[in-house]
Amino acid sequence: MIIEQRIKNFERLGMGMFVHFGAYSVVGRGEWSKLSCNIPWEEYMKAVRSFNPEPNWAKELVATAKKAGARYITLTTRHHDGFSLYDTKGLNDYDAPHVCGRDLVAEFVDACRAESIIPFFYHTLLDWHEEHYDSDFPTYLKYLRKSVEILCTNYGEIGGFWFDGKWNKPNEDWEEDALYGMIRSYQPDTMIINNTGIHDRGALGNIELDSVTFERGRPGQLNMADSPKYIASEMCQVFGEHWGYAKRDLNFKSPADIIRDLVNCRRYGSNFLINVGPMANGLLRPIEKASLEILGQWVDIFHEILPAMPTDITVENNEHDFVLQNGNDYYLICDQIPMFGDTNVALNDKNAPNAVCFRTDKKIATMKWIDDDTDAAFKQEGDLVTVAAKHYGYGCHLVVRVAKFTLA
């Protein structure tokens, strides 16, 4: 099996930020509002013409992503409504330079590089605006490749391309070899990802694809028996119900849920791509920014697990906990640990687990809880290791706790 370095590098990034931003952000009803809300093109174009983000939108976005612990950012350079955030170089005038006089992709890339964040480009495959998509598909595919070629050649080295929409015409020949071959000719070290959507999570595809996707679905162990090369995986998740800004979407996940999603991704060596939908001005809703700040607090403490990968060490006494490895360091991931305090204020769950058990034929040399740098109490009998599940004291609850250990 071929193991390519760019794929190994990608899966050790651990976490990225997904950004759904475009003309639909002005509408404020989600990225599919043009189609799902039956908005006439004349009305939709009024929104498009008013699209003009704040000058510092990209800098603020990247700074927020970095503080949250993201190592890369995937931006929707063009979504299904066909509007491009980049200069399409004469392919059409349905782009940001013609609307607000700015290349927003260039602003994004510059902001990423200033903060040592890796820029990734999302690009739609389906297109509601380009007439040839339904009338002359081969001609449309040439337009699509010319669009992607612009992204390949005008913004320096790009971490990856993230395609979406092949599921819209599953029986068509998308000429993937031509698209991916063109990308490789310009960006040989870029990741190429094609989203399989919510109905075909984790499915392998064209040989040039470097990662499978789990859209809003818990990753699992990949079956690479039929793959000639090693493949990474990534799960994209959204805070609410919409990827793009939707003013009336209040159904937000808790920061604890997001932390557990990140942790469960690492359980399978899968990257976690958490989405935000900036408002029309390019800034985030306060609830998204606050949630990312809380996620960043957790990552700041436990950042060591982001590049760590699965091991063959399995926890025996519960389904929530597991072990990761990065070089000589191992990490015991412990969920469901409660906080204890005065019985008049704390629930003090008496049924909470008191120990975590796993097996290894090597001796434990050292073990410490990362969050407070205290020794973890454990007992080793033969190959069975029993670790005391240290409960949180009053004033602290980190959702998921991590003990770092080494083997003799």
Per-residue pLDDT tens over the stretch 279-325: 999 999 999 999 999 999 999 999 999 999 999 999 998 899 999 99
The pLDDT of residue 358 is: 97
Is residue 30 scored above 80 in pLDDT? yes
Residue 104 has pLDDT above 80, yes or no: yes
Task: Please give the residue that has the higher pLDDT: either 224 or 7.
Answer: 7
Q: Give the pLDDT mean for 32-36.
A: 97
Q: Please state the pTM of the whole predicted model.
A: 0.95
Cα 201 to Cα 195: distance, rounded to the nearest angstrom: 8
Q: Give tens-digit pLDDT for 365-390.
A: 999 999 999 999 999 999 999 999 99
Percentage, residues of the chain above pLDDT 70: 100
CA angle 166, 171, 176 (to 5 degrees): 50
Mean pLDDT of 266-286: 97
CATH 3.20.20.80 fits 5-307, yes or no: yes
Q: What pLDDT shows up at residue 341?
A: 74
The answer for residues whose C-beta is within 8 angstroms of residue 228's C-beta and 6 or more apart is 1, 2, 207
Q: Which of 251, 220, 216, 246 is nearest to 233 (CA)?
A: 220
CATH superfamily of 311-407: Golgi alpha-mannosidase II (2.60.40.1180)
Burial class (CB in 10 A: 0-12, 13-18, 19+), 358: buried
Comma-separated ranges of CATH 2.60.40.1180 domains in the chain? 311-407
Q: List, as one string, the DSSP characters of 338-391.
A: PEE--TTT----TTS--EEEEE-SS-EEEEEETTTTEEPPEEEETTEEEEE-PP
Is it the case that residue 216 has pLDDT exceeding 90? no
Q: CB 379: neighbour CB atoms within 10 A?
A: 12
Query: What is the chain's mean pLDDT, rounded?
Result: 95
pLDDT at 221 over 90: no
Handedness of CA 279, 281, 287, 288 (dihedral sign): positive
**Which DSSP helix (H) or strand (E) runs through 50?**
none
Indicate if the pLDDT at residue 199 is higher than 80: no
- Local confidence band at 205 (pLDDT 50, 70, 90 cut-offs): confident
- In this structure, the strands spanning 72-78 and 15-19 are parallel
Residues of the chain with CATH 3.20.20.80: 5-307
144, pLDDT greater than 90: yes
Per the listing, tokens 């339904």 go with 134
Query: Which pLDDT belongs to residue 175?
Result: 98
Could you read off the pLDDT of 110-123 as tens digits, one per residue? 999 999 999 999 99
